[in-house]
Amino acid sequence: MIEDARVLLGDRLLEADVAIIGGGAAGIAMALSFANSAFRVVVLESGGLQYESDTQSLYRGKIIGLRYEPLDLCRVRTLGGSTDKRGWAGWCKVFHGMDFERREWIQHSGWPISKRDLASHYEEALKTVSLPRDLEEVASLESQGKDCLTLAGKDCVNDLVGLSTAPHLAAVWLESLRAAKNIRVILHSNVVRIETDETGRVVTSIGFSSLNHRTFNIAPRYTVLAAGGIENARLLLASNQGVRPGLGNESDWVGRCFMDHPRYAWGQITSVKDPRQLLRYNPTHGVGQRRMGVPLPGQKPLLGAGLSLSEEAQRRERVLGSRTWILPVAPQGERVAGRELREVILWALRGRVPSDIALRSGKIIADIPNAMTVAVAHLKSVAGHVRRWHFVTILEPEPNKDSRLILAKDCDPLGLPRVILDWRLTPLVERTLQVTQETIVKELKSIGIECFVQGPGGPKANQAVSDPRWVWHHMGTTRMSDDPNDGVVDPNCRVHGMKNLYIAGSSVFPTCSTDMPTLTVIALAHRLADYLKLEMKRRVKIENRPTALFGESGSVASAN
């Protein structure tokens, strides 16, 4: 059932076995796991089925640390969340076993679960995003094939990832959610209050409101926050009426260790006329078919190849992980103006205007010649006429307690405090970038590819470590830990000290690999749903429930 809070009758308390706050990748995956079961599930989604600027503006916040994307720009507030065309491009990877391990040279590293604990859930996640369940095996075999770069040493490896053929989860699964009698999706429902009992250990009700100020309450047996890496922490911190300084925050971890993958452009390749083997690997079906649906039997998924430091090199050098793409560039290199122009065009193609457009425009105007040469280089790359290439490296960040979210004094139109983001990186990021650059150049030169760390573009073409770009991944703000003194949720994603409050999404990541968190977000969501189903079978009486668990919708208008 799909409904809309703007026309929902609020004359009675809503009830549910599970309330899922957020209808993005994690929320939809959990709902699908519960579909057509005996449990009543309500999904509260702030947005609608289409992008709406007034709803999107609820994301607005302030940046005080490293420069970062405006917060209302880098996530999407609709059913399906950032899996729609304005957000996620569809790239998927299964985290490596090392990503879950404690690495003694990385502070706060180590998950309390292993990759083995997620194995079956990764298979379900791949099905959810319309990729084959053997994607990891396919990518491993293809990375050693004739269509990928053959490296001479052992310090760089081809790290292949899959591209979902159907990345917009709301579009793919909408009819399944609509048809499930036990699933109730309420659009335009913004959570503004989480109430607990006098002990502060049990969630008793959730208050939510539409932007036209229709207010409601729901009393779930279990509550799951699945609102994203910033909003999950924001809701916990703001729910401080009876428990200070916020739910799950007794050890002061909520909002800390905010992570995104820093991104740096650097260097050049000048000796390769046709380096397609170093670029994205395209199987026999074309790029234009990548969103047509599930691959036919025997058809390979679309894969992308990047260069990563091997596990052996990471351990020896005591560095973080990384992935490096090789992309077209102007002969003069891509400096600040070119980077800003590229991203303005990216957002324009997605129908968005950055709220910091004045800042970006100033940087473009300050170096118009470079902006124009970058634009020309891009057009040449589309036409297949490229002679120079540069590296773009995406790094795994190190968890840092000082990289954090705090509540602002001003509030959004619904009265919820906005957030302040203080994004910070550690010195290990700089060392990892340096090792990555040196290693890639050394290995490519060893097989006859002429390339440079600095490149003909000069020092201005290399991003300073203090001026990273980002990949719009919000992670780590409600991290998972065995010990309540070291995090916010336990290995089952239950908030430490709470009996019925859970968190789904990348905010629970203790560390976050090199990139592409979405598949792991979905795998964890399926795992949490399976855990809650077992919990409720032990605790919740479900006998004699009607087939239509929510009954008829009556005068409640369904969303179109």
Output the pLDDT for position 292. Answer: 28
Number of CB atoms found within 10 A of residue 187's CB: 24
Burial (CB count <10 Å: 0-12, 13-18, 19+), residue 274: exposed
Strands 389-395, 203-209: pairing kind: unpaired
To the nearest 10°, report the CA torsion of 380, 385, 390, 394.
Answer: 70
Write down all domains in the chain, each with its CATH number in brackets: 1-129+164-259+399-423+476-538 (3.50.50.60)
pTM for this entry:
0.92
| Helix (H), strand (E), coil (C) string for 328-392 | ECCCCCCCHHHHHHHHHHHHHHCCCCCCCHHHHHHHHHHCHHHHHHHHHHHHHHHHCCCCCEEEE
Per-residue model confidence as pLDDT tens for the chain (560 residues): 999 999 887 656 889 999 999 999 999 999 999 999 999 999 999 999 999 999 999 999 999 999 999 999 999 999 999 998 888 889 999 999 999 999 999 999 999 999 999 999 999 999 999 998 888 887 777 776 656 666 767 899 888 888 887 889 999 999 999 999 999 999 999 999 999 999 999 999 999 999 998 999 999 999 999 999 999 999 999 998 767 789 999 999 999 999 999 999 999 987 665 555 555 443 333 333 333 233 444 455 677 778 999 999 999 999 999 999 888 888 888 889 988 998 898 888 888 888 889 999 999 999 999 899 888 887 877 666 777 888 999 999 999 999 999 999 999 999 999 999 999 999 999 999 999 999 999 998 888 888 899 877 778 889 999 999 999 999 999 999 999 999 999 999 999 999 999 999 999 999 999 999 999 999 999 999 999 999 998 887 765 565 456 654 433 333 33
Q: Taking the CB of residue 461, how many other CB atoms lie within 10 A of it?
A: 24
Among candidates 162, 160, 155, 192, which has minimal Cα distance to 44?
A: 192
Residues 6+ positions from 108 with CB-CB distance below 8 Å: 257, 398, 399, 401, 479, 486, 510, 511
Whole-angstrom distance, CA of residue 60 vs CA of residue 33: 32
Instruction: Work out the end-to-end distance of the chain between its first and last CA atoms, rounded to an integer number of angstroms.
Output: 11
**In sequence order, what are the residues at sequence separation of 6 or more whose Cβ sits closer than 8 angstroms to the Cβ of residue 201?**
497, 498, 499
pLDDT digits (tens, 9 = 90+) for 94-112: 999 999 999 999 999 999 9
Give the span between the Cα atoms of 4 and 188, in whole angstroms: 6
**Predicted local distance difference test score (pLDDT) of residue 544:** 55
- Residues 6 or more apart whose CB falls under 8 angstroms from that of 123 comprise 133
**Residue-level pLDDT at 548:** 54
Strands 14-21 and 215-225: parallel
Please, are residues 170 and 30 in contact by the beta-carbon 8 Å criterion?
no
Per DSSP, helices labelled H in 262-333 are 311-317
